[in-house]
Amino acid sequence: MSNNNPPPTIVKCPTCSNAVVWGEVSPYRPFCSKRCQLIDLGEWAEEEKRIAGAPDMSDSDGWSEDH
């Protein structure tokens, strides 16, 4: 039989250095997860800014109510 399975290629996640199998089992390769992919793209930080920015928006408006 010439049906040899090649050894899986293991890469390191650029974000957290976890071992990631290069194949169908890792849809976010070379990242280990969607989270690490978002972090690398900078979208993760953007998402956090949006969440933190929401209550911050009313900050300048809230001060005038103190009078």
Annotation: binding site for Zn(2+): 13, 16, 32, 36
Out of 18, 23, 45, 47, the only residue in the binding site for Zn ion (CB under 5 A) is 18
Q: Helix (H, G, I), strand (E, B), or coil: what is residue 20? A: strand
Residue type at position 17: S
Per rule CB under 5 A, is residue 13 in the interface with Zn ion? yes
Residues 6+ apart with CB under 8 A from 32: 13, 15, 16, 18, 19, 20, 26
Does 16 contact Zn ion by CB under 5 A? yes
Whichever of 9 and 18 has its CB closer to Zn ion, that residue is: 18
Q: Residue 9 carries which DSSP code?
A: P
Which residues of the chain form contacts with Zn ion (CB under 5 A)? 13, 15-16, 18, 32, 36
